[in-house]
Amino acid sequence: MNFAQFGYIRVAAFAPVVSIGNPAANADAILACLQNPANDAVSLVAFPELSITGYTCEDLFFNQGMVDQIDTALVRIAKASRVQTVVVGAPYRLSDGRMINAAFVCQGGKVTGAVPKISNPNYGEFYDKRWFVSGEGIDENIDSPQLGSFRITTNQLFTLGESRFAIEICEDLWHPVPPYTSHVRAGAELIVNLSASNELVAKADYRRDLVRMASAQGVCAYLYASAGPTESTRDIVFGGHHLFAENGVLLQESERFAMQGSSLTAEMDWQLLRHDRTRNNTFASAARPQGYTTVGKQPVLPIEQLQRSYRAHPFVPNDESEFSARAVDILKIQATGLARRILASHAKTLVLGLSGGLDSTLALLVCIDALNILERDNTDLTVITLPGPATSEHTLQSARMLAKAATASLIEIRIDQSVEQHLKDLNHSGDHDVVFENAQARERTQVLFDMANKTGGIVVGTGDLSELALGWCTYNADHMSSYNVNGSVPKTLVKYLCRWYARHRADDALSDALLRVLDTPISPELVPSDDDDIAQETESIIGPYELHDFFIYHYLRNGFDAAKIYQLTLLSFADKYDAITVKKWLRLFFRRFYTQQFKRSTLPSGPKVGSVSLSPRGDWRMPDEANVDAILAQIDEF
């Protein structure tokens, strides 16, 4: 397997031990980093600002002997770039005598370009303007006997396989209008920053935020390589802080203050970045800057094993405190949306069908919170449970416990006779087929809407995002409501929200009821059993929801194709599902996702709570007739 075919490029940042003012020794250290066997799959390696001389050379930058040594060191490093792209920092004296602080890009065994630093800090502990001029406006074609021909300018992109990267240097990122804002609009998916950022109390946090937000604003990957503690520490200390962020997420960070040198290795996904840029109309419509050229032509190295990991449950934060804050937000969004709909419709009541399952349980909690926002009593909540031919005593008892614990009155209406009469009118065979199942679902929906008419209320929908993606709902039955509070909440998140509510907000009675629901297998309960137990278990029919939620996230949020999703699923669930199982449920997911779009095209309104939504008025517009055959054929070849 070569993961580079899926858009991954491995990059690295190093801060080797520095010999201040000794380009030859620094070149040795840089070459040693490049020769590290761990870098075999690394396609781009970045070193800190002025890494060939050391950042803290001060007036040694003026020395002609060191200037001569820089070219020799650059030639050695360039020759080592035959398979890897290498970005190093060095001072460079222009033909008119001005000196710039530059980043040199080496590819294919030669220097392909140099980018000058624009913002030279001259405040506090910095006085860079003593040695360097700004690179703004500099655009020179260099023809050097040693270094060859290349261009020095900020307005250039460098190729890396099918992707492109650009460069800014340290303080450029701190500028009110940093260069990366132009670079990304010109087409750079990766920004490489060569830096010498000293360490102060809390500065590391500020630096992380800068890099993370730059990657978010630029919809790009951002690799930050900073000078280490073997620079001069006469007045300031450097930490060798390396960072890698992608579209607002900090993915990797190095250790700081490592006296033997620090490093970072990470993998960018340029396919994902292009997908996000395409769907982000704000980015796509931004004016493209003029005057950029693209240079270099370096293929990326194959990646046999992906270091980058993906959470098995992408909708659910790993950190407990982060999830707690997320749960508060989600429930507040759901409840606020419902409260506003109550006001708009002048509803006297909320009508909720309570099955004793997960989705209707979460909807019950949202209804309570919505009424609380409006300072209305729970008596305005009409909870109805509608046991039918396949309802188990277990779930019926759960519904009773939930309603009692929530201090909501429960109305029980059995639908056995009405369903039986309806099937009799249809001359139904009596088999437990789809007609038998859907008749129950539609009878329940009819009762709920009629009760809403009777009480002057609205019907609160309960179906979740995972069910909508799979079309696991009955058209014009549980598929329909006046307002669906769970429409953008995936099943894995429904579970976590109910469990969080039980732990943090519920009293003992409600907590016990919630935990009972959580311990119950997920089931539509539309086929009866002989022993009054649950006959249908949804996940044995359509597959594990945790797999489907993984598929949903990476197909809808990231735009990955079936092959990439398949490989990432194998990595993320390596200890749980084998390749045959993943392939089986991935095929079912795509088949149902495409063929069931007609149900999503007529969805009721509901609040969007996360980055993924299937609302036909919001994030997802898809023709009902879209053809899935090519995707299924691709999966069959796995």
Instruction: Give the phi and the psi of residue 101 in degrees, each rounded to 5.
Output: -95, 115
Catalytic residue selected from 117, 495, 564, 599: 117
Handedness of CA 186, 268, 91, 228 (dihedral sign): positive
Side chain identity, residue 589: F
* H/E run at residue 394: helix 393-405
Among residues 33, 170, 220, 498, the one annotated as catalytic is: 170
Q: Catalytic: 106?
A: no
Residues 6+ apart with CB under 8 A from 349: 380, 381, 382, 452, 455, 456, 457, 458
CA distance 334 to 342: 12
Listed in sequence order, the DSSP H helices in 14-162 are: 23-34, 64-79
Question: Is there a catalytic annotation at residue 576?
Answer: no
Residue in this structure with the two tokens 């655009």, named with its chain if needed = 139
Count of residues making up the chain: 638
Is 117 among the catalytic positions?
Answer: yes
**Which residues, 6 or more positions from 141, have their beta carbon under 8 angstroms from its beta carbon?**
149, 150, 151
Ramachandran sector of residue 317 (left: φ over 0; alpha: ψ -120 to 50; beta: rest):
beta
Distance CA 189, CA 273 (A): 7
SS3 state at 430: coil
Q: Alpha-carbon distance 513 to 581, whole Å?
A: 33
Which residues partner with 33 through β-bridges?
none
Q: Which residues of 304-333 are buried (b: 16+ CB within 10 A; e: fewer)?
A: eebebeeebbbbbbeeeeebeebbeebbeb
Q: Which residue has the tokens 């429930």?
A: 331
Q: What are phi and psi of 310, to 5 degrees?
A: -125, 135
Q: What number of other Cβ atoms are within 10 A of residue 285's Cβ?
A: 7
Q: Tell me how far apart the alpha carbons of residues 580 and 228 are, in angstroms, rounded to a whole number.
A: 48
In angstroms, what is the C-alpha Rg of the chain? 30
Residues annotated catalytic, as ranges: 49, 117, 170
